[in-house]
């Protein structure tokens, strides 16, 4: 019995298309909740403009409520990964819900920023692969490291800064 490749490809392709279309009904919610007045990191004592620009370019898409959802975030199954990454990023660090009222907690967050930048864990390679403006040069990375270190020191009580 001879296999009819043309018929097999048409049937398989049609089935695949139907499955992809059905997956679109399972897209997760892409949310950007409202930012409470004064809650964002930039609300009080914002960093220098250069640092602010770097944070917005390399961090804010996953670590704030100001996510710019790319076109592929609307297409399953890629949408599942994107929404999951953003939700996880917001859970670990959310610049839109900065702990202004708790200096010790804010200092710990800044220390963590410093750590993941220093170990080059952030921004992740899978993100910078597509988002070229999020790729940090060594000088830009050092600018963020210097900022986070200095900002954390300012927030700690004087006796722990020595």
User: Is residue 26 assigned to a domain?
Assistant: no
Q: State the pTM of this model.
A: 0.84
| Contact indicator for 91, 85 with CB cutoff of 8 Å | no
Asked if 8 and 69 touch (Cβ cutoff 8 Å), the reply is no
pLDDT of residue 19 exceeding 70, the answer is no
Checking if the pLDDT of 161 tops 60, the result is no
Residue 142 in domain: yes
- Indicate whether 40 belongs to any domain: no
Asked if 65 contacts 95 with a C-beta cutoff of 8 angstroms, the reply is no
41 domain-assigned: no
Per the CB < 8 A criterion, the answer to whether 62 and 90 are in contact is: yes
- Look at residue 85 and tell me if it is in a domain: yes
Comparing 159 with 36, which gets the higher pLDDT?
36
Distances (CA, A) of 107 to 8, 48, 160: 61, 17, 11
| Domains contained in the chain, number | 1
Does residue 133 form part of some domain? yes
Structural domain of 141: 48-160
Task: Answer whether residue 21 is part of any domain.
Answer: no
148 in any annotated domain: yes
The pLDDT score that the predictor gives to residue 159 is: 56
- pLDDT single digits (tens) 97-154: 999 999 999 999 999 999 999 999 999 999 999 999 999 999 999 999 999 999 999 9
């Amino acid at each position: 019995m001879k296999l009819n490749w043309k018929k097999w490809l048409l049937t398989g392709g049609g089935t695949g298309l139907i499955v992809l279309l059905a997956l679109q009904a399972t897209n997760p919610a892409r949310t950007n909740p409202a930012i409470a007045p004064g809650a964002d990191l930039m609300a009080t004592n914002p960093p220098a403009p250069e640092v602010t620009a770097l944070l917005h370019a390399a961090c804010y898409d996953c670590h704030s409520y100001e996510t710019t959802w790319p076109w592929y975030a609307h297409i399953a199954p890629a949408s599942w990964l994107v929404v999951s990454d953003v939700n996880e990023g917001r859970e670990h660090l959310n610049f839109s819900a900065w702990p202004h009222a708790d200096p010790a907690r804010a200092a710990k967050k800044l220390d963590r920023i410093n750590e993941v930048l220093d170990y080059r864990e952030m921004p992740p390679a899978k993100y910078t692969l597509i988002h070229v403006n999020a790729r940090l040069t060594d000088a830009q990375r050092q600018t963020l490291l210097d900022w986070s270190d200095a900002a954390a020191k300012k927030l700690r009580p004087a006796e722990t800064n020595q």
